[in-house]
């Protein structure tokens, strides 16, 4: 049996206690709203912080030396392609997106079309924007669990409307492509080139660039 009680405090907030199958958890905090989350991020600029749709706070560890280099190779190619075709904007791994289901996440790199970019207000541009990237990349680093990251690709990025997503693992030299229609494609070996498909026409990334790490 489960029950929850909220005791009003003098400051207007509530202290929450949860009772479940004989267990009692006290002094629980209410779910952090967007303003509170923004304040935490602002007060801790040295941390990379995400929040899932259930309100859980996730502190992301720094990436390894090699992982940082891998990310920069992909970002560099996207920037070069985008400067040529001028179809949208490219974002670094420090950019947080607020997704429709409440997830607040930072992919290793992202790209957004000018059509979506044009819908954002000046206030959103100076804070965390409520917008879904068209394309994201997640690089598997030594601190990542591949199964957890794969679940994130499906249940966070694709479920919220990302059109094309890549998960790349330099250690195993494998990659996985996730698409908005639910289809997935496994890439075995880095002697191949990934395509931006219809989402980013003309963009290609040669995986062999990552083979020497």
* R_g over Cα of the chain: 20
The whole-number pLDDT of residue 12 equals: 52
The gap between the terminal CA atoms of the chain, to the nearest Å, is 53
Burial class (CB in 10 A: 0-12, 13-18, 19+), 33: exposed
Q: Is residue 3 scored above 50 in pLDDT?
A: no
Q: Are 148 and 154 in contact (CB under 8 A)?
A: no
- Greater pLDDT, 117 or 64: 117
Q: Is residue 73 scored above 60 in pLDDT?
A: yes
Average model confidence (pLDDT) for the chain? 87
- How far is 210 from 206, CA to CA, in rounded Å? 8
Q: Which residues are 59's β-sheet partners?
A: 49
**Mean pLDDT over residues 56-75, rounded?**
90
- Region of 83 on the Ramachandran plot (φ > 0 left; ψ -120 to 50 alpha; else beta): alpha
Task: Determine whether domain 65-210 maps to CATH 3.90.1570.10.
Answer: yes
**Mean pLDDT over residues 66-90, rounded?**
96
Token pair 């509170």 in the structure block, residue = 36
3-state secondary structure of 128: coil
The domain segmentation of the chain, as residue ranges, is 1-30, 65-210
**Mean pLDDT over residues 77-83, rounded?**
98
**Mean pLDDT over residues 17-45, rounded?**
69
- Greater pLDDT, 111 or 64: 111
The whole-number pLDDT of residue 38 equals: 84
Q: Is residue 16 scored above 50 in pLDDT?
A: no
Q: Which residues are 14's β-sheet partners?
A: 8
Q: Is residue 135 scored above 90 in pLDDT?
A: yes
């Amino acid at each position: 049996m489960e029950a929850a009680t909220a005791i009003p405090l003098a400051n207007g907030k509530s202290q929450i206690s949860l009772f479940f199958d004989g267990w009692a958890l006290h002094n629980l905090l209410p779910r952090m709203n967007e303003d509170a989350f923004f304040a935490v991020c602002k007060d801790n600029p040295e941390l990379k912080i995400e929040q899932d749709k259930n309100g859980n706070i996730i502190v992301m560890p720094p990436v390894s030396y090699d992982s940082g280099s891998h990310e920069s190779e992909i970002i560099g190619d996207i920037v070069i392609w985008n400067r040529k075709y001028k179809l949208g904007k490219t974002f670094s791994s420090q950019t947080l997106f607020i997704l429709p289901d409440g997830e607040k996440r930072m992919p290793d790199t992202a790209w957004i079309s000018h059509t979506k970019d044009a819908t954002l207000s000046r206030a959103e541009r100076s804070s965390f924007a409520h917008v879904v990237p068209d394309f994201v990349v997640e690089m598997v680093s030594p601190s990542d669990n591949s199964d957890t990251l794969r679940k994130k690709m499906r249940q966070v990025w694709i479920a919220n409307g990302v059109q094309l997503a890549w998960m790349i693992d330099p250690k195993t030299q494998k990659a996985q492509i996730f698409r908005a229609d639910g289809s997935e494609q496994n890439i075995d070996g880095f002697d191949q080139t990934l395509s931006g498909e219809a989402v980013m026409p003309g963009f290609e990334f040669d995986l062999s660039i990552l083979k020497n790490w």
